[in-house]
Structure 1
């Protein structure tokens, strides 16, 4: 596979942005097995991280047609062999203009910004990379401990001059090993979380319509129990953590129905996508204490409004969409992607090639 990219000079178009520069992407290409005869650099969006975030959310919810792509791509794509992007949209119209396009690379796990169907129709493989599975897994583990052991709320109390010893969950606060953690979705992040929890002696259960026993065995999780439905996961877990992609079908899927299944001693964590949750239903569950608490790194609208009722609750931890942010996760992503390209060229195999037939089943994060 990809033999046609070897032994020839390629025109490679790299599209960077405020988080991943075109210069970094070009350097990753130069260090790869690919021979670039020409590298054309484009920049998507503004040099403004808030603007990027707003456009990112729009694309994640509405697809690659929702935002304009980088300036200069109309001309550059016509005779390009490879398009290498971070988050710049790659809609159908752009793909159709790529008369010589052989592959599309993206240095992120999500694929909402690329029209996979159009690429597949032209037999153009899309290769992506999971750049932040470990940072997010570390973060979620931290949220579980901070939430169940009142670390965040007691810190806030001390900052307000309160010496707190009693909490709403004091009667059922327990050690980590006594909790049953339920993972809704077992992609790369879910697997990393499960491995961390397993090492700490925590019982982990999961629901994922697409995970295979072979993949669990390959990652040392053959003994992890899979439950048959999301409803069962919410009923049985002491902590529910979401790790799903946001699609038209699951927008605000986690609503009062699912919160009603949870134990009053159970906790809810969302570090995936804010749009998965009906935020008002979650607020009601927290206010009524029908669940013990929640930790949220993502919201239905970002940044979180200063008027949000979430800010007034004492049983929730709120963080500003930072679970995947470490000094190395995003900047190293282009180089991680080129390692995947090297695997394809050298071994002919990788699990990072996506096409339209498997995109709906892709749980990788």
Structure 2
């Protein structure tokens, strides 16, 4: 009898492999980052955890056995969602894995910009003792959190510790105990003039692409800061550059960009009111543990019981 197969396209600790094998003792599990390890098994795999180049071509073949893909990332916009949907392949994301590291990054960027830590680091390199005209603080300010999932909620919790007024934005408009006010994305222009900080944690979809453009940046306070850890294309990058260059907003902390790596000729590198990080906001020592033990294994248990994996099941119509 042919064994059912699972591919994990990442190199993970042996203890996690053992946990998975215990859940599916009769399955063959192929694990490894190198495509040569699992390429020849793609046509026979029922479950694939992780998405790599070459897997898309598999979906074009006949006699496909693939039933479920577990993404290793929270965002799935780079995957062929329409093809997966047409093949009736279940897709679950890693949403929730990043709540702690990304919320920490959001506040690291907010605090650095507010307290001018980036400028002081530059001064230190030049052995320059200068006040840098520092005069802002976070306490008591208003933050608009666009995307109120696990990351947005954790960001709101931290914001409350700073005594901040929290405005949440989610497509459902459903209230949350950590938000003082909750709006929908359609009310974007109404919210922006109220905010001292904008934190974007939204996924990239047709509805969120270029959600922030020249008009939106013009509605923000000249003293406000824009933090984007969602996806680069949620903001019109040229409009953002112009807003930063012309001081229509005070500054930006950016972990994501329309094109990555960020082109070395981009003006964002030159602006003194911008902090750039290379799409690392979600990096954490606990990534694999949270993904496998909090998401994949519970989903696997339900899948084996003949049910859809319930945690982070992607709605193809919504795109996340």
One fold, TM greater than 0.5?
Answer: yes
How many angstroms does 1:224 deviate by?
A: 3.0
Question: Residue 29 of structure 1 is aligned with which of 20, 24, 28?
Answer: 20
Task: Provide the rounded CA distance (Å) in 1 between the counterparts of 2:265 and 2:41.
Answer: 45
Per-residue CA distance 1:26-48 (angstroms, 9 max, x = gap): 445214x2334322346566xxx
Q: Distance in 1 between matches of 2:59 and 2:252?
A: 41
Check whether the contact 1:183–1:207 (CA below 8 A) recurs between aligned residues: yes
Which of 9, 12, 21 is residue 5 of structure 2 equivalent to? Answer: 12
Distance 2:74 2:280 in 1: 16
Hey, what's the Cα distance between the residues in 2 that align with 1:355 and 1:299?
25
CA distance 1:307–1:117, shift in 2 (3 Å): closer
CA distance in 1, matches of 2:54, 2:170: 28
Q: Please give the secondary structure, in 2, of the residue aligned with 1:81.
A: strand
Moved more, 250-259 or 176-185: 250-259
For structure 1, the residue ranges without an aligned partner over 5 or more in a row are 1-7, 46-69
Counterpart in 2 of 1:203? 165
Contact kept in structure 2, 1:12 and 1:39, CA below 8 Å: yes
The structure whose RCO (Cα within 8 Å, separation 6+) is larger is 1
CA displacement, residues 110-167 of structure 1 (integer Å, 9 cap, x when unaligned): 2234444444444432233332221111111111111112122122223223222242
| 1:270 maps to 2:236 | no
Q: Is the Cα–Cα contact under 8 Å of residues 201 and 229 in structure 2 kept in the other structure?
A: yes
Instruction: Report the 3-state secondary structure (helix = DSSP H, G, I; strand = E; otherwise coil) of the residue aligned with 1:13.
Output: strand
Equivalents in 1 of 2:111, 2:65: separation in Å?
51
Using structure 2 for the length normalisation, give the TM-score: 0.83
What is the rounded CA distance, in whole Å, between the counterparts of 1:225 and 1:10 in structure 2?
Answer: 53
| Distance in 2 separating the partners of 1:120 and 1:281 | 34
Q: What corresponds to 2:112 in structure 1?
A: 146
3-state secondary structure, aligned to 1:101:
coil
| Aligned equivalents of 2:88, 2:249: Cα separation in 1 | 48
Paired residues of 1:77 and 1:97 also in contact (CA < 8 A): no
* C-alpha distance in 2 between matches for 1:247 and 1:114: 12
Residues paired across the two proteins, number: 314
Partner of residue 341, structure 1? 299
Q: Is the 8 A contact 2:59 2:83 kept in 1?
A: no
Q: Secondary structure at 1:259's aligned position in 2? A: helix
Return the TM-score normalized by structure 1.
0.74
Question: Could you list the per-position Cα deviations for residues 34-93 of structure 1 after superposition, in whole angstroms to 9, with x for gaps in the alignment?
Answer: 334322346566xxxxxxxxxxxxxxxxxxxxxxxx8864x5344433222244565485
Superposed CA deviations along residues 281-338 of structure 1, whole A, max 9, x for unmatched, are 2222122211111111222233333433223322222222221112222465334433
Partner SS for 1:353: coil
After superposition, where does 1:21-170 map in structure 2 within 5 Å?
Answer: 21=11, 26-31=17-22, 33-41=23-31, 43=33, 73=39, 76-88=41-53, 90-91=55-56, 94=59, 97=62, 99-130=64-95, 131-167=97-133, 170=135
Q: CA RMSD in A?
A: 3.2
* SS of match in other structure, 1:178: coil
| CA distance in 1: counterparts of 2:60 and 2:26, whole angstroms | 20
1:178 to 113, 117, 140: 140
Q: Equivalences for 1:318-333 in 2 at 5 Å?
A: 318-330=276-288, 333=291
